[in-house]
Structure 1
């Protein structure tokens, strides 16, 4: 079996290997033949450094994560995809519950079962609209790789949603939810640019269209729920 090639985080060129290991803890980072820079400096970085660079939307960090950490050709990627879908939907459901709890006009007498069902319908319908509009816009504006790769990219780059878990602890205002939403949008755009090598403006446009439609569907579903 041919050895899987990695990617240079500086220029995106394929490289044979990221490092040569001489002994445990003793290795040398390889340089890219194309740009003659270290192919992946994040190999020897701590997770915190990588996470900070992801938050700063550095394309190098996204290339490291999407190409050199996640093996999209692996047989286990399908299991990873389902886990990410579940985590994404759970975080999105949690976001909807946070918005509902902070809405003064919400009906506090609503039964838990009915409220949970309504939130679930809202989340599923909004995300269905998001995926459909994203696929449609991307097909029109970008050179698309395989659909599974793009879906995996969007799910991974939505990691910013985990910051929502800190809201009840530090009692952030509800506006933080929308700040997180904007960070998710821009993170999706950077990841999409890395995967498709398209112009930043096109990637931002695709993500903006998809997130806008998702927001509208979420608002419409929520309004219909309150009317009913």
Structure 2
């Protein structure tokens, strides 16, 4: 797996962690954790801030805890930051943003995720409250990363008997070609299954999301309010 897990304990009660809200995003201050030598020499990180979504939050006798998964895809600012953190380090968030998932409460839903957004989908599945189980397209570069949802499937509390359609690319998951692959995979599945998609939520790389929105609009003929395809990262 190329995903590292951060377990956080908040120091104040100023911003309560949302226990039952999937996709809650934190804008982490990467510069807050740079080495003292870098601070002395006024060396800046290439990207001083980065969004990561909350995988899960829970309450114990010792307080509120948060679990954040960070996908390590190359020598990126966020990946270097995540790998450098040690137990006991403090992290700082500059902004918090809830995810737009209200439209998924009714109808047949399609969820589309790559490595950066599968934590959001995993929590969404655990909290699923729609009587119809969703179809999930899971896009990973590595076959092993498809196992991310295994724990969710084993969890007896998961109400949704969801279906996972794996898409393994063996490369960086970005670009218009990936959007074509996703659309074709969806088309092949729908040609074999009596399923009509009413709602869509997805989060991918910027150029992929842009191209995929057009393809899904042509294929599914949904209203704009019924189809949310977010940008979670940019391939530079």
Q: Tell me, yes or no, whether TM beats 0.5.
A: no
TM-score if structure 2 supplies the norm length?
A: 0.26
More helix by share: 1
Asked which structure has the greater CA Rg, the reply is: 1
More strand by share: 2
